[in-house]
Homo-oligomer: A and B are copies of this chain.
Amino acid sequence: MDTTPAAPRTGRNEPLGFVIASTGQAAAAAFEAALAETGLHPRHFAVLRGLKDGEAQSQQQLAHRLGIPASRIVGLLDELVRRGFVFRRESPADRRVKLVALLDAGREELQRLTKLAGESERKVTTGLSAGEQDELRRLLGIVYDNVAVEPQGVRARVW
């Protein structure tokens, strides 16, 4: 017998909030699936992107900029260091601080992930004209400002 639960049909009169939430979840899941072959999570991608601007920076600067709790950035960086994508070194100015930056392998991995992200983005936008994509962005921006608790224009960290 069929044991898989039948999800509710998309009633045309489901609340818009529900439609947005479930579409958002599906999009996030699709992106996570797109990265799965690398063994990395979207958050690792976010960290690598946060490091791409060259200059070595402290872990806390990085975490703060990405909206990642300080206690969580450690594990993410551990994994990236373990894979040889990132290195840590002591700050000469303050020995409490660890400066982190990309290695060449990390730059390559970032390219690879960016390519996968682009494919995922293309999948998301299939069938939407450039104008429709702009319109969707605009409408979601309005919704976001309506519901977000954060200061306006600041998005919660999903990836």
Contact = CB atoms under 8 A, between A and B. Distances in A.
Interface string A1-40: 0000111111010111111111111111111000000000
How many copies of this kind of chain does the complex include?
2
A137 interface: yes
A74 interface: no
Nearest to A33: B149
A142 B26 CA distance: 12
> A interface, by DSSP: helix, strand, loop or mixed?
helix
Contacts of A137: 12, 16, 19
A125 interface: yes
Interface in A102-157: 117, 120-121, 123-128, 132-133, 135-137, 139-144, 146-150, 153-157
Contacts of A149: 26, 29-30
Interface stretch (A61-69, A79-87, A91-99): A61-69
Given A5-B66, A8-B66, A27 B31 contact: no
